[in-house]
């Protein structure tokens, strides 16, 4: 591949769908959207602190994160990360991306770093009971993440695991095993930090949840898992420098924003994010929140969904190939997967794969990727390919910034505020009313009347 550095955007499979002149035609709008983002003249500009985060972060707090991670590694077999949405998806995505697929399943005597488990991302009593069972009698710590401290799902989970810590260690020692990531000054968790002396880290005011993976929100759990978070930040810093300076023709993030919006204007309103490595599944989940919350408002926006191949070719492949033609695909392709294995040579052909003997599974996976691109492109589904060099912290940091920058530009390009999420509150208000939260009596009466 020519000029493959850390990430390469490949639009060659779009030739049937995008005319050569269209990139030039949308270029002035892309440049305007980028200028709105970079200058701070766009709406909600106060939420752009993530933009220079890779080079302008609190170095003292960063050192405290690394020290806290070492402390957790030394005294805990499990870290329970409590958060929902951006408060867990970034960390989960990064840990899965940077570790082998069964990292979290290894027994304690086979693992160097703590098991990272997640809670507070649902309201399932069954899930919490299963998680408690997995922890068993092992030593554990908790990292609770919430800007307000009053989000229902993590608040319930924190109460449960706070009690478990006290029951196991007593109040004084339990307090040493609680790490809080929250607002610098306000919110119930900040008050609990003051009251109990928990070690705490700050969610910057100008960083929304879906852009927060490179803040303490993501960095502490990622560091506890054994990842070099300095390399992660250095990769993001490299991307920051490149995407700020390079023109559209040389700028992978701007090209991605441009092409997906050209396709959107042609009626391709659903974007499927796809990968060929199972441990990219949560990369897709992180991307779905980033794209969905940033762009899905004002009754417009590209709908984000995902699939993991070749697995999902056996469930969604038929629809993608011959269903409604409102789909576009964005494929993230790892150029150098960390491991491989040969197809064994048996000299037999009962399973019909003798022709693959001696070839590597990655080779077969590559050919599956090439064949799917060809089939789907010929079948009426435009494909964009994002080639990523490897699964290392530096490259992941670069890729994180690539998607954050591209989606922010894409929001402005589509006349959307990419940094708010007003619709998220609607279900919460109804839930508070139905649960009988004080102050919601009128809404509850209205709901009951409409039922």
Q: Is residue 3 predicted with pLDDT exceeding 60?
A: no
Query: Span 135-140, mean pLDDT?
Result: 98
Is 293 annotated in the active site?
yes
| 192 contacts: CB under 8 Å, gap ≥ 6 | 149, 180, 198
Q: Which of 116-120, 423-427, 439-443 has the lowest mean pLDDT?
A: 423-427
Q: How confident is the model at residue 443 (pLDDT cuts 50, 70, 90)?
A: low
- What pLDDT score was predicted for residue 422? 82
* Maximum distance among all Cα pairs of the chain, rounded to whole angstroms: 75
DSSP 8-state class, residue 332: E
| 431 contacts: CB under 8 Å, gap ≥ 6 | 152
DSSP 8-state class, residue 78: E
User: Could you give the CA distance from residue 38 to residue 35 in angstroms, rounded to a whole number?
Assistant: 5
Active-site entry in 16, 70, 194, 428: 428
Q: How confident is the model at residue 373 (pLDDT cuts 50, 70, 90)?
A: very high
Give the tens place of pLDDT for each residue, 225-276.
Answer: 999 999 999 999 999 999 999 999 999 999 999 999 999 999 999 999 999 9
Give the tens place of pLDDT for each residue, 170-200.
Answer: 999 999 999 999 999 999 999 999 999 999 9
- Give the helix, strand, coil percentages of the chain, each rounded to 5: 55, 15, 30
Active-site entry in 274, 293, 295, 404: 293
Helix-then-strand count for the chain, H and E:
15, 10
Q: Is residue 1 predicted with pLDDT exceeding 50?
A: no
Q: What percent of the chain has a predicted confidence (pLDDT) above 90?
A: 88
Query: Span 128-154, mean pLDDT?
Result: 95
- The pTM for the full model equals 0.95
| 227 contacts: CB under 8 Å, gap ≥ 6 | 94, 95, 98, 393
Q: Considering just the CA atoms, what is the radius of gyration of the chain in Å?
A: 23
State the average pLDDT for the chain. 94
Half-sphere exposure of 331 (CA within 13 A, CB side): 27
In degrees rounded to 5, what are phi and psi of residue 183?
-65, 150
Q: How confident is the model at residue 444 (pLDDT cuts 50, 70, 90)?
A: low
Q: How confident is the model at residue 437 (pLDDT cuts 50, 70, 90)?
A: confident
Q: Is residue 121 predicted with pLDDT exceeding 90?
A: yes
Instruction: Please provide the DSSP assignment of 45-70 as one string.
Output: GGG-GGGGTTTSS-HHHHHHHHHHHH
- What pLDDT score was predicted for residue 138? 98
Classified by CATH at the fold level, domain 50-227 comes out as Rossmann fold (3.40.50)
User: Could you give the CA distance from residue 82 to residue 131 in angstroms, rounded to a whole number?
Assistant: 12
Is 153 annotated in the active site?
no
Second-level CATH architecture of 7-42+234-418: 3-Layer(aba) Sandwich (3.40)
Q: Which residue spans within 86-147 are E strands per DSSP?
A: 115-119, 140-145
Give the tens place of pLDDT for each residue, 332-367.
Answer: 999 999 999 999 999 899 999 999 999 999 999 999
Give the tens place of pLDDT for each residue, 32-49.
Answer: 999 999 999 999 889 999
User: Could you give the CA distance from residue 256 to residue 11 in angstroms, rounded to a whole number?
Assistant: 9
Domain ranges of the chain: 7-42+234-418, 50-227
Q: Is residue 17 predicted with pLDDT exceeding 90?
A: yes
DSSP 8-state class, residue 279: G
Give the tens place of pLDDT for each residue, 57-81.
Answer: 999 999 999 999 999 999 999 999 9
7-42+234-418 matches 50-227 in fold: yes
User: Could you give the CA distance from residue 137 to residue 47 in angstroms, rounded to a whole number?
Assistant: 42
Q: Are 252 and 260 in contact (CB under 8 A)?
A: no
Which residue from 52, 169, 179, 63 is spatially nearest to 114, judged by alpha carbons? 179
DSSP 8-state class, residue 215: S
């Amino acid at each position: 591949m020519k000029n493959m550095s850390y990430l390469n955007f490949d639009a060659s499979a779009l030739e049937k769908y995008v005319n050569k002149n269209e990139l030039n035609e949308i270029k002035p709008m892309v440049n305007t959207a980028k200028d709105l983002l970079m200058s701070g003249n766009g709406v909600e500009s106060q939420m752009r602190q993530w933009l220079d985060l890779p080079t302008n972060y609190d170095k003292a707090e960063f050192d405290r994160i690394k020290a806290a991670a070492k402390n957790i590694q030394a005294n805990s077999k499990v870290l329970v990360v409590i958060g929902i949405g951006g408060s867990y998806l970034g960390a989960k995505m990064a840990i899965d991306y940077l570790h082998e697929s069964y990292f979290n399943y290894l027994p304690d005597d086979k693992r160097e770093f703590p098991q990272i488990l997640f809670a507070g991302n649902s309201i399932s009593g069954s899930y919490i009971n299963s998680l408690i069972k997995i922890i068993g009698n092992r030593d554990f710590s908790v990292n609770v993440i919430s800007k307000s401290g009053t989000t229902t799902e993590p608040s319930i989970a924190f109460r449960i695991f706070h009690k478990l810590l006290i029951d196991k260690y007593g109040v004084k020692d339990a307090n040493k095993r609680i790490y809080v990531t929250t607002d610098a000054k306000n919110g119930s968790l900040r008050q609990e930090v003051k009251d109990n002396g928990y070690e705490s880290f700050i969610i910057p005011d100008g960083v929304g949840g879906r852009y927060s993976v490179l803040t303490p929100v993501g960095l502490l759990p990622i560091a506890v898992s054994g990842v070099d978070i300095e390399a992660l930040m250095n990769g993001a810093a490299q991307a920051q420098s490149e995407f700020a300076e390079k023109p559209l023709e040389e700028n992978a993030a701007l090209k991605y924003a441009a092409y997906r919006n050209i396709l959107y204007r042609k009626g391709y309103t659903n974007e499927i994010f796809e990968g060929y490595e199972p441990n990219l599944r949560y990369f897709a989940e992180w991307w779905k929140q980033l794209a969905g919350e940033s762009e899905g408002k004002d009754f417009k926006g590209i709908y984000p969904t995902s699939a993991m191949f070749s697995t999902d070719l056996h469930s969604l492949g038929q629809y993608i190939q011959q269903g409604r033609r409102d789909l576009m695909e964005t494929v993230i392709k790892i150029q150098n997967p960390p491991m491989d294995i040969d197809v064994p040579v048996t000299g037999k052909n009962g399973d019909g794969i003798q022709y693959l003997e001696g070839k590597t599974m990655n080779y077969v996976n590559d050919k599956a990727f090439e064949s799917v691109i060809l089939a789907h492109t010929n079948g009426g589904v435009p494909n964009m390919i994002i080639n990523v060099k490897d699964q290392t912290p530096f490259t992941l940091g670069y890729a994180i910034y690539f998607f954050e920058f591209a989606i922010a530009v894409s929001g402005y390009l589509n006349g959307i505020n990419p940094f708010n999420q007003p619709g998220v509150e609607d279900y919460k208000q109804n839930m508070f009313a139905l649960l009988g939260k004080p102050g919601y009596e009128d809404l509850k009466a209205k709901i009951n009347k409409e039922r």
